[in-house]
Structure 1
Amino acid sequence: MLFNKFLTGVLCASLISISVFGQTDEGDLFESAKEFMSYGDFKNAEIYFKKLLEKAPDNPEYNLELGLLYCLASDKKTDAIPYLEKCDQLSKNEDEFPERYYYLGICYQIRGDFDKAINYFTLFKGYTKKNKEGLAMQQEVNRRIESCNHAKIFVPSPINAQIKNAGDQINSPELDYSPVMQPNQSNIYFTSRRQGNYGTASYDDVHQRVLNTEDIYFAPITIKGDSIVYDRAKKVSSKINTTDHDAVIGFSKDNQKLFIYRENDVWYSQIAGRDWGDPKRLNQKFNTKKGQETSLAMSAAQDMIFIVSSKKGGYGGKDIYVSELQDDGSWSPLVNLGPNVNTSYDEESPFLSTDGKTLYFSSMGHSSMGGYDIFQSAYEKGEWQAPKNMGYPLNSSSDDIFYTTNEDGSLGFLSSDREGGIGYMDIYEIHMQGNEIPVTEIRGIVLAGKDLTPVGARITVKNTNNNKVVGYYVSNEDTASSDYGKYLLVLNPGEEYELTIEAEGYTTYNQTIFVPAQFEYHQMYQEIHMGEKESAIYNALFDIDTQYDNAYAYIEKQLAVDEEYADVLKKDNMYSAYINTLIKIDKILSNPDEVINQPNGTSEKKAESKSETGVGVDEFFSPDEILAVMQDSLSNKPIVMPNIEFDYNRATLREDSKLELNKLYTFMKNSANVQVEIIGHTDNNGDEDFNMRLSQKRAEEIKAYLVSKGIQGTRILTMGYGEYKPIAPNTLPDGSDNPKGRKKNNRIEMKFLFGKE
């Protein structure tokens, strides 16, 4: 919208100033500077305008032009303010260079001084023509004033989210945008217009500068708690990137398809071994002949596709449409999501939550704070509801677009040209607090025959409550891929499902599973063994009853003998606390206690509370181990168990590990209301499939040991992630091996689940 040429057409003609140069060299400099501006060569234009200001620092037009340059260079917008203000001060009257008001409004809006921005926008409105272009400009200025008023509401009440620039391993001095994370969280893919792309640079009307063509890049990532370590980004193969524009849109949830934008349409590439296959254009139901299709989102069950199109018949600009998979395998015609979602402005970059209940998208309409903002719409009563602005600091007064998240919604990415970036548009990571989506993700592999080799299979999932098919899944059919035979199911909790597994040459297998109600995102692993006569599923789901309202921390204080005390905790219930493992404490009694305290190390001694109503027994452990475990447990994060180790490529428990597990056994024996999830991880040495099985077997070995000592198997959940969730780099930045990192990644984690006693 920062078009000085456009403003010339909408401002009253008598108000446009024409400079008269006293010196030829000054005139030549000015003409050269303007020519560089017209080509979008801001670097050289800046040099020439600064030379002009050295010659004539009090020339209002030179100050105006340099201010406009910084406004157009999106990474330096607020640098324009002193030059535009000087132009304002030096102008002979308010009617000279009225465009300064518009650009000052933009700069103050971006800087967050919304009242000043509104004032300048209001001043500017008085100088627009009453023709068609002038009325359109007035509408644009009114929208900016409205955006400033929205920002005055959102900025003082920030949401609970952390926004961080992804850094120079990902971002360049140019435009970087449309970030999408692979479903296994191993890589981030994005689009860039940086130097070194395959195509030829050309002038871009939207950004008013010379830009490179779009190419797709990727970078391996390592997630460490609330931080992400990025490897340096690289271009994807020439199968995907061409000399034309190629932009990444997203992945299917099973990681089998990569969606891209090319030639005004949506294309897809199927996984082929460790690379992507040749892209193919989606069929004409999704791509129109005269419209432009720019973005796509697919549901986790792969039964709905949301697509952005500029086709005729919409509400204005680009709208979001949806198509649903029919029972016969065909796709329904595109249906506009309607006025609740679409506006007379552009809507872009849809993204559907894993549970299918929330649609995220960007819009220049609705309650935008400025430019594109990110919104969310809930699916209720058979339709998408009026969207809500996701708030500050997720949104800013600049363009914020291409929002995506991981499966549970806790980690996301967006693109923004907000102030303080590395380039014209940067990629940012988002850490959302308390935003986990309660869905269950089931990763598995289909194995067949006596040798249990991977095989391609079709999996149909039906909800038994309403007899509706909720998804058709296909395990990876590429025999050259390390993912051959693998599949991913994403199911909503609290429902029963019937799975039908079909593989050529083997008996069709049906299995009913129940996904328990839960309050958080959950992942599981299972194997399907297909046989000629019979088939079976291994590691079926356990019934989980997770509760959080009875998890408490407490501070124990020795009380003087022969005195009575009121209840410290005012809820008549069981109280639990972590010390080394977990001890169960009865409701605090008023009778005097006989205390035996052992402050250092684990003690076999116990403290006993006697009263008419019962006996409570406490065990004491080393206080050095209390806080870390208690904090992790209360935040429901997995706890790394450093003293449980396995030999290289083995799943047999070592004797020293059994000693550590005996503490867990004691805790579980005394706490019948608590379940434990045991999670195995490996480094990336060897085959991915082998590592997945190894991590699962290690978790199951621990479970078997606890069961052998008398703990019920239904209280123990096992999960193996293989090499997919490292907490440290497996290699150093120079590419050499990192033994310390591998040791950290070969680990066992535990998560405790609190249920009702």
Structure 2
Amino acid sequence: MVQREKIILLILVLIGFSLVLNGQEQTAKNIGPVVNSKYSDFGPFVSADGKSLYFTSDRPGGVGGQDGWVSHKVAGQWGEPVNMGAPFNTQMNEGPDCLTVDEQTMYFTGCDRPDGLGMCDIYVATKEGDKWGEPKNLGKPINTKYGEYNASISADGKTLYFVSNRPGGLGGYDIWYSIKQEDGSWGEPKNIGPTINTPENEIFVFIHWDGVTLYFSSDGHGGFGNADVFQSRLTPSGWSPPINLGPAVNSTEKEFYFTIPASGDLAYFSATQSDTQGQEDIYVVPIPAILKPKGLTLVYGIVANKDTCAEPTIDPVLKTPVYDIKTCKPVEAVIRLSKSATDEEILLGKTAPDGSYKVIIQAGADYNLNAYAKGFSFHSERFVVPAEQAYQEVEKNILLTPLGVGKVIILHNVYFDFDKAVLRPESKAELNNLIRQMNENPGMKIEIQGHTDSKGSDEYNIRLSRARAKAVLDYLVLQGNISPDRLTAVGYGESMPIASNDLDEGRQLNRRVEFRIISLK
């Protein structure tokens, strides 16, 4: 205990020193009367992009006792909160614990419900259009006859953290976690262990979007008040010793329900402090640099039908078509994130009805982002994020091509060794996409087309492009068991450019493999 207190003290000194260097006092501020009321406003959860703030309140205008509310940020200001409505809210007490990155799935605590197993249970609800669908009790083994509260889902949707007073813990309330199984069910919960849990109470948990930074409230680790907010990071050897977030967040009162957007720059939490307008208020505070989570990349955009877009303009430099996504009809699609080298699935989700999607990519990752929809060819984009990349947001709109005879689809992530027709390992995910598509459409026959840029002789480029197309054909036959009768391979050399060959970027686009649909019968 003495050693841990020394570590905490050192960190707090470093925090204070960093604030002095910044030349300003970074203290928690009440989020203000637009969001907070004279009633209880607590349990904030901020969306990954930092533009939506969900919270619990017993203010008038709700459905029952404590209801879920949401405020959206417009032009840098939080708007008037809106009740989340039935069936999410009931005559009982509800609190929106957390949402997935795309804000299409929500986990929350529901108390005293007819289908509850204990006093309070964890539930899940999914968006149906612009409204929340009927909540479902997660059931056993997550919920018990005791109490389960304050769920937090990892960015990949595979680990659920929560608080419970079930037997087998170390104190009154402990933090537990469960891993999602291959069949979609939740595995037997495990206690997160004595580094985090104490003989007292750990009453709230939030796993950041980076998947390794944990924030929680505890009255068993010492600190400034009745319950302080702490941070711990997951390392190869387990969770690091908790760090008190210091006086910028913690006071002599109780601080809990701590949440941070993917950017890691601001934190929202609920507390009772000297300037609280009601019984509990929501506060916001800047996060010191030494306590910020790892940098993340938030990728967002719209998936749409390419054939419905208005006539594209032409990029004056690359000579490539540029589509206005606002003119295209959205497509509801499956979104899949996988490792480029192995095709190991990281995340499987879907777009909202308006075709929008959001995913988080970790720093240091090399991922493929794939979109699939019935009646369309697949589309993939590769993201290679440096390990030291700071937080960034990347807009990537995806245009899907409807399946049809004569349609030509580029295989965006097929790679070869330099000047050779040897497929590189990171081509596996893209070619597996094509194998899946051909298995789903057993009557499909395609012409695999190889293309080069304008460097080299015509004869050389024809030979290289033909060999590369043949390498793709061989992969489909040998690895995907696709009948050779459904495949042909043709090399077109430099004769069919899709961009200017005057620039390196244009030549890179011209060096490609694509396929043309010959038959769908």
In the other structure, the counterpart of 1:190 is 55
> Shift of residue 489 of structure 1?
1.6
The change in CA–CA distance for 1:175 and 1:156 in structure 2 (over 3 A counts) is farther
Specify the SS of the correspondent of 1:490: strand
The change in CA–CA distance for 1:379 and 1:453 in structure 2 (over 3 A counts) is same
The change in CA–CA distance for 1:327 and 1:498 in structure 2 (over 3 A counts) is farther
Given the alignment, which residue of 343, 346, 349 partners 2:204? 349
Question: Hey, what's the Cα distance between the residues in 1 that align with 2:92 and 2:15?
Answer: 43
> Is 1:475 the equivalent of 2:351?
yes
Identity %, equivalent residues: 29
Q: Could you tell me which amino acid in structure 1 is paired with residue 392 of structure 2?
A: H
| Structure with the higher fraction of residues in helix conformation | 1
> Is 1:279 the equivalent of 2:144?
no
1:683-715 CA-partner distances (Å, limit 9, x unpaired): xxxxxxxxxxxxxxxxxxxxxxxx99x99869x
Question: Hey, what's the Cα distance between the residues in 2 that align with 1:157 and 1:460?
Answer: 39
> Shift of residue 296 of structure 1?
0.8
1:221-249 CA-partner distances (Å, limit 9, x unpaired): 3364xxxx333334332332221111121
Work out whether residues 408 and 438 of structure 1, in 8 Å CA contact, stay in contact via their aligned partners in 2: yes
Question: Hey, what's the Cα distance between the residues in 2 that align with 1:712 and 1:508?
Answer: 27
> Is 1:326 the equivalent of 2:218?
no
Give the number of the structure whose alpha-carbon radius of gyration is greater.
Answer: 1
The change in CA–CA distance for 1:535 and 1:398 in structure 2 (over 3 A counts) is farther
> Shift of residue 498 of structure 1?
3.2
Question: Hey, what's the Cα distance between the residues in 1 that align with 2:383 and 2:376?
Answer: 21
Question: Hey, what's the Cα distance between the residues in 2 that align with 1:194 and 1:174?
Answer: 6
Question: Hey, what's the Cα distance between the residues in 1 that align with 2:110 and 2:298?
Answer: 31
Question: Hey, what's the Cα distance between the residues in 2 that align with 1:382 and 1:323?
Answer: 19
Question: Hey, what's the Cα distance between the residues in 1 that align with 2:248 and 2:269?
Answer: 12
1:647-677 CA-partner distances (Å, limit 9, x unpaired): xxxxxxxxxxxxxxxxxxxxxxxxxxxxxxx
Work out whether residues 499 and 512 of structure 1, in 8 Å CA contact, stay in contact via their aligned partners in 2: yes
Work out whether residues 526 and 537 of structure 1, in 8 Å CA contact, stay in contact via their aligned partners in 2: no
In the other structure, the counterpart of 1:520 is 390
Q: 1:546-557 alignment to 2 at 5 Å?
A: none
> Is 1:492 the equivalent of 2:362?
yes
Given the alignment, which residue of 257, 281, 284 partners 1:429? 284
Specify the SS of the correspondent of 2:397: strand
Question: Hey, what's the Cα distance between the residues in 1 that align with 2:134 and 2:246?
Answer: 40
In the other structure, the counterpart of 1:746 is none
Specify the SS of the correspondent of 2:161: strand
Question: Hey, what's the Cα distance between the residues in 2 that align with 1:417 and 1:536?
Answer: 57
The two structures have a TM-score, normalised by structure 1, of 0.46
> Shift of residue 404 of structure 1?
0.3
Given the alignment, which residue of 23, 45, 58 partners 1:180? 45
> Shift of residue 387 of structure 1?
1.3
Question: Hey, what's the Cα distance between the residues in 2 that align with 1:349 and 1:712?
Answer: 52
| Structure with the higher fraction of residues in strand conformation | 2
1:255-288 CA-partner distances (Å, limit 9, x unpaired): 1123322121122222222222232222423222
The change in CA–CA distance for 1:538 and 1:417 in structure 2 (over 3 A counts) is farther
The change in CA–CA distance for 1:271 and 1:369 in structure 2 (over 3 A counts) is same
The change in CA–CA distance for 1:471 and 1:372 in structure 2 (over 3 A counts) is same
The two structures have a TM-score, normalised by structure 2, of 0.65
Work out whether residues 528 and 535 of structure 1, in 8 Å CA contact, stay in contact via their aligned partners in 2: no
1:289-320 CA-partner distances (Å, limit 9, x unpaired): x1211111111121221122222111122211
Q: Could you tell me which amino acid in structure 2 is paired with residue 174 of structure 1?
A: Y
Q: Could you tell me which amino acid in structure 2 is paired with residue 456 of structure 1?
A: E
Q: 1:381-392 alignment to 2 at 5 Å?
A: 381-392=236-247
Q: Which moved more, 1:429-438 or 1:333-342?
A: 429-438
In the other structure, the counterpart of 1:214 is 66
The change in CA–CA distance for 1:178 and 1:341 in structure 2 (over 3 A counts) is same
> Is 1:443 the equivalent of 2:300?
yes
Specify the SS of the correspondent of 1:396: coil
Question: Hey, what's the Cα distance between the residues in 2 that align with 1:419 and 1:248?
Answer: 26
Question: Hey, what's the Cα distance between the residues in 1 that align with 2:142 and 2:341?
Answer: 32
Q: 1:49-448 alignment to 2 at 5 Å?
A: 154=12, 158=16, 160=19, 161-195=26-60, 197-199=62-64, 213-222=65-74, 224=76, 229-263=77-111, 264-288=120-144, 290-434=145-289, 435=292, 437-448=294-305
Question: Hey, what's the Cα distance between the residues in 1 that align with 2:9 and 2:237?
Answer: 31
Question: Hey, what's the Cα distance between the residues in 2 that align with 1:269 and 1:327?
Answer: 20
The structure, 1 or 2, with the larger RCO (C-alpha pairs under 8 Å, 6+ apart) is: 2
In the other structure, the counterpart of 1:457 is 333
> Shift of residue 524 of structure 1?
0.7
Q: 1:572-611 alignment to 2 at 5 Å?
A: none
Work out whether residues 213 and 293 of structure 2, in 8 Å CA contact, stay in contact via their aligned partners in 1: no
The change in CA–CA distance for 1:454 and 1:494 in structure 2 (over 3 A counts) is same
User: Mind listing any 5+ residue stretches in structure 2 that lack a counterpart?
Assistant: 20-25, 112-119, 309-327, 414-498, 507-521
Work out whether residues 315 and 342 of structure 1, in 8 Å CA contact, stay in contact via their aligned partners in 2: yes
Q: Could you tell me which amino acid in structure 1 is paired with residue 302 of structure 2?
A: I
Work out whether residues 509 and 534 of structure 1, in 8 Å CA contact, stay in contact via their aligned partners in 2: no
Q: Could you tell me which amino acid in structure 1 is paired with residue 166 of structure 2?
A: K
User: Mind listing any 5+ residue stretches in structure 1 that lack a counterpart?
Assistant: 1-145, 200-212, 479-483, 540-706, 715-757
The change in CA–CA distance for 1:537 and 1:237 in structure 2 (over 3 A counts) is farther
Question: Hey, what's the Cα distance between the residues in 1 that align with 2:345 and 2:357?
Answer: 17
1:53-74 CA-partner distances (Å, limit 9, x unpaired): xxxxxxxxxxxxxxxxxxxxxx
Work out whether residues 300 and 355 of structure 1, in 8 Å CA contact, stay in contact via their aligned partners in 2: yes
The change in CA–CA distance for 1:444 and 1:231 in structure 2 (over 3 A counts) is closer
Q: 1:564-643 alignment to 2 at 5 Å?
A: none
1:351-396 CA-partner distances (Å, limit 9, x unpaired): 1222112011111111332211111111101522221111112111
Q: Could you tell me which amino acid in structure 2 is paired with residue 354 of structure 1?
A: W
